[in-house]
Amino acid sequence: MFKFVMGDDLRRIRLNADRTMEEVADKLGVSRVTIGKWENGIGRPDVNQFLELYGFCGRNIKLIYEEIFSIRDEFQIRDEDDKTKRASKRKKGKKRAKSGDKQKQ
């Protein structure tokens, strides 16, 4: 999860929305005890759980998603040799280019 979000932050987000631990737990598919542990700094929700909690408590996650989609779009238009891509993705692009060169000959 986001390392800078602490248990007290999770509690404040929930309380600000007038949500009970039980309501949040039911929405996320976890136990009330798990929510209590997160709020007390014992363990943390994963990123998807945090985003679901954040949205369920009436917070706007649109900006986060817009940023993610913007970055995704930037990566889709990058050159195949871009060093920010995973090695497996770069290799596939190079193999296609090489096999295409052989077919042209």
Q: Within the chain, how many helices (H) and strands (E) appear?
A: 6, 0
- Please indicate, yes or no, whether the overall pTM of this predicted structure exceeds 0.85: no
- Residue 21's pLDDT is what? 98
Do residues 39 and 1 make contact, with C-beta atoms less than 8 angstroms apart?
A: no
Longest dimension (CA), the chain: 69
Answer with the residue of higher pLDDT: 95 or 64. 64
Residue 2 has pLDDT above 90, yes or no: no
Instruction: Please determine, for residue 105, whether its predicted confidence score (pLDDT) is greater than 70.
Output: no
Tell me the pLDDT tens digit for each residue of 20-58. Answer: 999 999 999 999 999 999 999 999 999 899 999 999 999
CATH superfamily to which 7-65 belongs: lambda repressor-like DNA-binding domains (1.10.260.40)
Q: Look up residue 79 and give its DSSP letter.
A: -
